[in-house]
Structure 1
């Protein structure tokens, strides 16, 4: 695959005799928002685990900007611009929302008041951009689900990413919160040139937000195209969307 910032090429994963992924290929372009959908057990989370380095595939490869990163660790990938959120929230509940974003910037090292002030200003700007600037001093563990989801997204982009993997980002959100999430993700992709891949069971949300949608079923790519193409695909309707 050429022209992609992140690619999975012929990825295969087995759990015993079960093929969780079988020859899955996928590419993400800079500035693109792509959706990944499919029924339960289709292999979506397994693919996310492979892309983020949590699981090493049994076959195939993962490339970032053309370089093979299949054997690279999650930490290495994070430090080279890949970020991921999870289905289960991973915020530091006993820290404030701002401090969660400060922690996300500390891997670059350095000390001093000027650097701390710069990081705090960056955190404030990101929180404002995500519409939760007023919650900076709130303990993350005290946030309601929708606000916590947004705070987790803010932490993921506190240090600007090249690739952002969002796992069920709209889960537990109200309709206004989902609209805000969609606006933030679109802006991030357009302004920062970040490639975004999101797994989401809310199909209407995916179809509205994403320019391209990939459908997994039983560990293989069933369909890929624009939301309209995927919506009109007979095989997709049969396997997932319903007639």
Structure 2
């Protein structure tokens, strides 16, 4: 089976709006999270979408799904955790406890605030995860990346052709990501930026799907302005 986890646990402080998390802000004529969920509902091979939200926003999320005619048979709203990793782990526990998910089943993890993920990116995540067990979506770095240990002086300028910027989805066989989480101490887990890093720390090979510049993460007011421009122009397929 194939499941999607929409990671919607963030509070959106960088958006400057403390009253509503960024995933519930309106993009065009509907909330960002609805745009995102709808992208995954295009795939019949995805058995279920799990939207992982803050506890205080569970009812609001369910109401939004109903308002936008998204069937309960395809999307389930579940309480997330207080960090990205705890949210993913809660999602895995839900699938194991309530969906009898096996180690060979696949989870596609995706940021709720990346509403422009394309059909191709999702399709290639599924295909590559079936083949390899762990996948990350990335785009080649266009700017020179520098490394500084103290924030004052440069330590290294790595070759740009070897560098990529991470996006989502990140997709895993459930057994692969469970083994990775279990192999690490809690401090190591919290220091890792995302689930792909967790898999790497456990010695897993993580394969690449090339993303797209339009697959942006909406985290600031300027991002939301840009996203509305993308939506208006209809440049994402």
TM-score normalised by the chain length of structure 1:
0.28
Q: Identify the structure with the greater strand proportion.
A: 1
Structure with more relative contact order (C-alpha pairs < 8 Å, separation 6 or more): 1
TM-score normalised by the chain length of structure 2:
0.28
